Amino acid sequence: MMKVGLFIPFSGQVSHVQQEIRNGLGIGVNSDEWERVDFAVQYYQSNVQEDLQLALLHLESVSGVSLILAVMDRNHESAMMACVKNCRCPIVLINMIKSRPVRDHGLRHVFMNSLFLSSSQFVLANFVRDLLDQQSCICLSEIGGITGLWDSLSGADHIKGNLMGYCQDASDLIKVLEVSSKSLFSASTWFRELQNEANVEFVEHYQRRFAAIPSPFALLAYEIGLLLRNQYQKKYPRSQNSIVSALRRINVTGPRGAINLRADCQRSSVVYVSKVGTRHKGGDDKREIVCREEYREASCG
């Protein structure tokens, strides 16, 4: 049984957020036995670094906790980032701050996301980040056309030609996938668009089980669970290194394909998430996570 720690700021919505993360992660890790995922919960209120550090240490010391999901709001940002540096457990920061750059803090065990980026915004932002070869994330308030895109790329005129090689108009932006990120563990995790084809399967599953539409928290937790599914199903104990490696795998979902912008770079790691049809249960295709080599073998086999 996998035990996950939840580090959540105390608020009026804490119960809802906690339940959404539980539900989404459970379905992602093991859709058939979601209730077997165990959780340890620690709330925090103070924005004093020492208090946050003690609360995080208390959660980390709970027996069996192998991963921590920490929800971070604006009031706790700086203190939280200082605390996670000393965390011995792999930790995913769920960032509730809207339109905030996602920075690489050089911490191998820490993963960052933004809850408010749509799939289109996130994919495009990381494509641009990769072209610029720097750890930054450009957040677009909306994608209404190429004009808005260029306005967001002030000072980056030299990449516009390269970008237009992939995007002919705004409708093509979603086809551009950045697949070599190291500081961000998924290129298609933060979806707010519930009708996106990559989300339909999960949304339908969630509605059948809980009779409700999942929130972005549940969608995010589901994607994290997918990354961890292979680790969860292994019989032997999971090490921290294996969990970190699993979180570093990049998700590229749906029929859009993938563009490897850094084919010759050692840090590139293309991973496809798709219904490859290799496993079936009850007539439903299982959604699989396969790396580049596994994908080639499946295609040739």
SS3 for the chain, per residue?
CCEEEEEEECCCCHHHHHHHHHHHHHHHHCCCCHHHCEEEEEEECCCCHHHHHHHHHHHHCCCCEEEEEEEECHHHHHHHHHHHCCCCCCEEEEECCCCCCCCCCCCCCEEEEECCCCHHHHHHHHHHHHHHCCCCCCCCCCCCCHHHHHHHCCCCHHHHHHHHCCCCCHHHHHHCCCCCCCCCCCCCCCCCCCCCHHHHHHHHHHHHHHCCCCCHHHHHHHHHHHHHHHHHHCCCCCCHHHHHHHHCCCCCECCCCCCCCCCCCCCCCCEEEECCCCCEECCEECCEEEEHHHHHHHHHC
Q: Provide the pLDDT for residue 54.
A: 93
Q: Provide the pLDDT for residue 195.
A: 41
Q: Provide the pLDDT for residue 16.
A: 86
Q: Provide the pLDDT for residue 40.
A: 94
Q: Provide the pLDDT for residue 113.
A: 56
Profile the chain (301 residues) by mean pLDDT over runs of 10 residues. 87 83 85 69 88 93 90 78 84 63 54 50 48 38 43 47 43 36 32 44 80 78 74 62 68 31 32 28 34 40 46
Superfamily of domain 3-300: Response regulator (3.40.50.2300)
Q: Provide the pLDDT for residue 132.
A: 43
Q: Provide the pLDDT for residue 205.
A: 82
The domain segmentation of the chain, as residue ranges, is 3-300
Q: Provide the pLDDT for residue 266.
A: 29
Q: Provide the pLDDT for residue 204.
A: 77
